[in-house]
Structure 1
Amino acid sequence: MYYLMLKQKIKDFLTEEDGIGTVEMILILVVLIGIVLIFKEQLNSLVESIFKTINEQAKKV
């Protein structure tokens, strides 16, 4: 009897898909962090350029 309950609990655990979303989110975050690290210098120069343009345009208003 106990063996059947244990077998069913193991089967339920293996077929459970609740944790899949968490794993996917972690993988997406790891990929995004990797992309940011690879293109760090380009992103910094892009952001600096955008803020420089914003400041120049704000002075004209």
Structure 2
Amino acid sequence: MGLLLRDTRGQDLIEYALMAGFVAVAAGALMPSIATSISTVFSNVGSVLTAAAAS
């Protein structure tokens, strides 16, 4: 059992996989709010351009 605990081969791969998983979860959690913000910005820009074209 001691040899198994001292063997660190593959440890970096596991750490990077965990970090990538955390980043993916965080990105998935933030996507709806970011998408709403971007949609609002484009909607506002479209309204301003429509008003400017009508003038």
Task: Name the TM-score class by shorter chain.
Answer: 0.5 to 0.7
Larger RCO: 1 or 2 (CA < 8 Å, sep 6+): 1
Q: Structure 2: how far apart are the matches of 1:9 and 1:18?
A: 18
Cα RMSD of the aligned pairs, angstroms, is 1.4
In percent, how many aligned pairs have the same letter?
5
- Give the length in aligned residue pairs: 39
Q: Which runs of 4+ in 1 moved over 3 A?
A: none
How far did residue 25 of structure 1 move? Answer: 0.3
Please, which runs of 5 or more residues in structure 1 have no aligned partner? 41-61
Matched, 1:3 2:22: no
